[in-house]
A and B are shown apart, each in its own frame.
Chain A
């Protein structure tokens, strides 16, 4: 269990939903890996396939109504071909998940403590009292005051931040190896967001686990992520170490994302939105899925799909046809205008 041990190896993950209007290509050919002690930030607009990839990894998509291809290797076992019963033993035990809306994710009719205790009993033969004790212990651990009495509360008696803490407590009951956080702060107050992110970071350090953090908040990613995966229309656009992605982003879509992010130095007026809207996944654009909205497109973009490769050995992989020199040039021009706006 050394630090850096590779936990998850996702290769060519593809998820399609057949609907009456056609096949929705929610996730196409997503490849990444996660190691112990690593926080992987996944960013992208709504509908870019972030959540669906994670649900596929957790085995929470209905296998009868989705077509899933590729490999999700967890400690040497392919989760996609695992029988449902084997997968269930991993789910909630080795891989746990925290969801977006803590208001909707807790059952309104059961006590918070009981819901956590249930997660304990799902994978152990401990008695009810022991499971309850563990629930209280974890609630206390994630910073719920008076955990012993609050465990007897129902979810509607908890604030949003407390509910998300409870969800994190629930995810931690079996000391999982991987914690998947799907937009854990989107539904919360700004002041609470920071606390939750800090809690997730603290938990990562303490239990030495791998964290997948899905969010559209680039500020959060910049703060805690070790590596970043930028997704668009179900595909990976850029994937690399966080420091590199923020210092020298290589993909025009990543530039767009960063330029549309408000920060203290940049007033709202200086924000540059990405023109247009994300494509329909029923009929994604040919070639590069971003080309209809890309300012730098040229001949190959509408027809040829760029592979996810590193353009030069010292760079990280991106999926863009632009020659390396142009990427450097446009990328640096972009940071000049940004500095100019700030002045």
Chain B
């Protein structure tokens, strides 16, 4: 197992490095204009531009810059380890920016994940157990709605109804929980629900289908033949086998959201990592983009590893060597 994890970590490093290299290439190959021009101010002359290029390191080939990036990453910069360099605009520490923005995104994901996991799985179980009843149809109707409704629409409708009309929500923007817990919750519950909706719908459908499939297995009949109660049959024997794919999905979904909750972040003006990445991309601020991309890639790779390890614990048939 230890060897397996070490091998996986090695490949994780390779994948992340590849992602960073691709980001560099895309940045230079795509003709998006010269970043130096953007940062030079009005009517720069050629000499000024050269100076800026030199200062930002843009006068070197991409692979040289890539090497420098890797070197800084391991050596650290004045803001500590890992060194992520400085933004083109303002020369702020990217690491500092990420540390500042990350809690917003992570708290958004954490809250939403709890909501979608709990509601999705319980709706799925209820739906499977009450198959072909009004409850089942209602739950699957909800799931269809959740899957079809885009998050920007859900978010805006939610804001209109619960903030403007009913006043149940604190509205857009972010309030740190260290500043005010109630303020944090009143601002966060709506984005949590909006983001969780799509996933809850998916998880409900997946739980229902997996559970129904599992309940048709022969070992469920064996469990009933032992004289176990229906509750034990469904929750112990049925759920154990049907939740394994959901564990896999859950790990990856959370990881993908680290850089992928942009829409929710912008609808609710939370200014998290997604906001940082988008702004970085729009203003051609390579170091910012690289920082977020690196974090997102590491999260996905680590989540993959964690999922595989957890899987081995859930299902004894899976053993890694």
Contacts and interface: CB of A to CB of B under 8 A. Distances in A.
A105 B221 contact: yes
Contact of A108 (B221, B223, B225, B317): B317
Given A107-B241, A109-B240, A109-B316, A91 B223 contact: no
Contacts, number: 68
Interface string B222-242: 111111110000000100110
A93 interface: yes
B130 to A, nearest CB: 12
A105 B219 contact: yes
Nearest to B244: A109
B219 A106 contact: yes
Between B222, B229, B240, the greatest number of chain A beta carbons within 10 A of the residue's beta carbon is seen for B222
A178 interface: no
Contact of A122 (B228, B241, B315, B317): B228
Categorize the interface residue count of chain A.
20 to 34
Interface string A226-237: 000000000000
A82 to B, nearest CB: 13
Contacts of B221: 60, 99, 105
B222 A107 contact: yes
Contacts of B317: 108-109, 154, 156
B314 interface: yes
Contacts of B314: 109
Q: Which secondary structure dominates where chain B touches chain A?
A: helix
B226 A118 contact: yes
Given A60-B221, A99-B222, A154-B316, A107 B237 contact: yes
Given A109-B240, A109-B241, A91 B224 contact: yes
Contacts of B316: 108-109, 154, 156
Interface in A63-107: 88-93, 96-97, 99, 101, 104-107
A24 to B, nearest CB: 17
Interface in B295-321: 314-317
A88 B229 contact: yes
Interface residues of B, number: 19
Interface string A99-137: 101001111111000010011001100000000000000
Given A60-B221, A156-B317, A108 B227 contact: no
A123 B241 contact: no
A168 interface: no
A8 interface: no
Contacts of A96: 225
B218 A92 contact: no
A122 B227 contact: yes
A89 B227 contact: yes
A170 B219 contact: no
Q: Which of B217, B223, B225 has the most CB of A within 10 A?
A: B225
A60 B225 contact: yes
B222 A123 contact: no
Interface string B110-130: 000000000000000000000
Given A108-B315, A109-B314, A109-B315, A92 B226 contact: yes
A265 to B, nearest CB: 37
A58 interface: yes
B218 A104 contact: yes
Nearest to A167: B222
Contacts of A101: 218
Of A60, A107, A122, the most chain B CB neighbours within 10 A belong to A107
Contacts of A93: 227
A104 B222 CA distance: 9
A97 B225 contact: yes
Given A154-B317, A156-B317, A108 B228 contact: no
A110 B219 CA distance: 11
B228 to A, nearest CB: 5
Given A154-B316, A154-B317, A156-B317, A104 B219 contact: yes
The 9 closest A-B pairs by CB, nearest first: A92-B227, A104-B218, A92-B226, A119-B226, A91-B227, A107-B219, A154-B316, A105-B218, A105-B222
Given A97-B225, A105-B221, A107-B241, 19 more contacts: A60-B225, A88-B228, A90-B227, A91-B225, A92-B225, A93-B227, A99-B218, A105-B219, A107-B237, A108-B219, A108-B241, A108-B317, A109-B314, A109-B315, A109-B317, A118-B226, A118-B228, A123-B227, A154-B317
Interface of B: 217-219, 221-229, 237, 240-241, 314-317
12 contacts: A58-B225, A60-B225, A88-B227, A91-B225, A91-B226, A101-B218, A104-B218, A105-B222, A107-B240, A108-B316, A109-B315, A109-B316
